[in-house]
Amino acid sequence: MSADYTADEMMSVAAARALGDGMSCFVGIGLPSKAANLARRAHAPNLTLIYESGCLGAKPSRLPLSIGDGELADTADAVISVPEVFNYWLQPGRIDVGFLGAAQLDKFGNINTTVIGSDYHDPKVRLPGAGGAPEIAASCGEVFIVLRQNPRAFVEKVDFVTSFGHGTGKGDREELGLPGRGPTLVVTDLGLLRPDPETAELTLTELHPGVELDRVVAATGWKLKVADDLKITPAPTEQELTVLRDLEKASA
């Protein structure tokens, strides 16, 4: 990894690039929010950011601390009720992309943000929970997931399915009648993963600059599949880094 940028900056830039101008994006707090706000500032000025609190078209000048941050309401095109966000915008399929984080992610893109451990009633760790993520994962046109890659987060099977990805493989979403395509991209600090067209198993398709394949394999809790045409992610541009750093500075 070049000394000119960090692994987290590479991850944020790669995630932001996945969002195109004119898209509508349901944004989670944390890394997803950073990537979405970077995209809007860097290359997608017409990206519509939608937050669970009911803020449509938010244009925050800094990274929001939570979905209830007043900065989102102050800069939004409209503020509507939470039920309206879900009943009118999300569930009918009016949102292009859901951008989510995770505590655990398995090889079929299922997300756990509920508990760590096999006993739900007496877990090792109780996590923040679902929020609107299950509906986002079910109903958005597609889902992008962003998180740092390590064996504790990338597991063979999640301890609890909070948000449904591809279940146990291709066809499970259709069998359940879920309208969205589910996870189509996972962005980490090491590379990019996409579901295999035949099996829906997450497959490494891009390595970030300076990252060795063995490192990604070691950071994954299952036998990682690697694309035959494995690519190298383009490094962040000076403009992307400037915009990202200005955004982070405004949020300090």
Work out the average pLDDT over 67-89. 95
Query: What size, in residues, is the chain?
Result: 252
Residue 1 has pLDDT above 90, yes or no: no
Active site residue 52: yes
Q: What secondary structure does DSSP assign to 149-216, as a single string? A: --TTTBBSS-SS-SB-SSTTSTTHHHHHT--S--EEEEE-SSEEEEE-TTT--EEEEEEPTT--HHHH
Residue 92 has pLDDT above 60, yes or no: yes
Tokens representing 240 are 């992307």
Strand, helix or coil for residue 221: strand
pLDDT at res. 2: 45
pLDDT at res. 3: 55
Residue 188 has pLDDT above 80, yes or no: yes
Work out the average pLDDT over 188-205. 98
E strands within the chain? 24-27, 48-51, 55-56, 78-79, 97-100, 104-105, 111-112, 115-116, 125-126, 142-146, 183-187, 191-195, 202-207, 225-232
pLDDT band at 165 (very low <50, low <70, confident <90, very high): very high
Q: How far is CA 111 from CA 103, 145, 153, in A?
A: 7, 9, 10
Taking only Cα atoms into account, the Rg of the chain, rounded to an integer number of angstroms, comes to 17
pLDDT tens for each residue of 31-41: 899 999 999 99
pLDDT at res. 30: 86
Annotated active-site residue in 52, 135, 201, 240: 52
pLDDT at res. 69: 93
Strand, helix or coil for residue 2: coil
Work out the average pLDDT over 89-103. 94
pLDDT at res. 186: 98
Nearest Cα to Cα of residue 252 among 114, 14, 93, 65? 65
Is pTM beyond 0.75? Reply is yes
